[in-house]
């Protein structure tokens, strides 16, 4: 149980930081396009893609990295 907590704590911290960064990027408008065009076609798909990739990397690093010292 202690090992699982040691693995989950850094994962959860990084997950919440990534979510916060994604939320901040999602609320920043681009001045050249209208807000609806930027939000619907460019900003949200890119942010969601990057967030999913980063969370996948965090999961792989958290659960499949060899934490045992030789």
Please tell me the predicted confidence (pLDDT) of residue 41.
74
pLDDT in tens, the chain (70 residues): 667 777 788 888 888 988 888 888 777 766 676 667 666 777 778 888 988 998 888 888 877 776 655 5
DSSP string, 12-44: HHHHHHHHHHHHHHHTPPPSSS-HHHIIIIIIH
| Domain locations along the chain | 2-64
d(CA 20, CA 9): 17
Closest to 7 (Cα-Cα) out of 70, 45, 60: 60
Q: Is the dihedral of CA 63, 66, 69, 70 positive or negative?
A: positive
The whole-number pLDDT of residue 47 equals 84
């Amino acid at each position: 149980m202690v090992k699982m907590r040691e693995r989950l704590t850094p994962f959860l911290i990084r997950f919440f930081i990534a979510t916060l960064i994604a939320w901040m990027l999602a609320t920043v408008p681009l001045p050249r396009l209208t807000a609806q065009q930027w939000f619907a076609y460019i900003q949200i798909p890119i942010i969601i893609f990057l967030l999913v990739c980063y969370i996948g990397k965090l999961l792989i690093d958290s659960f499949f990295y060899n934490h045992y010292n030789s």
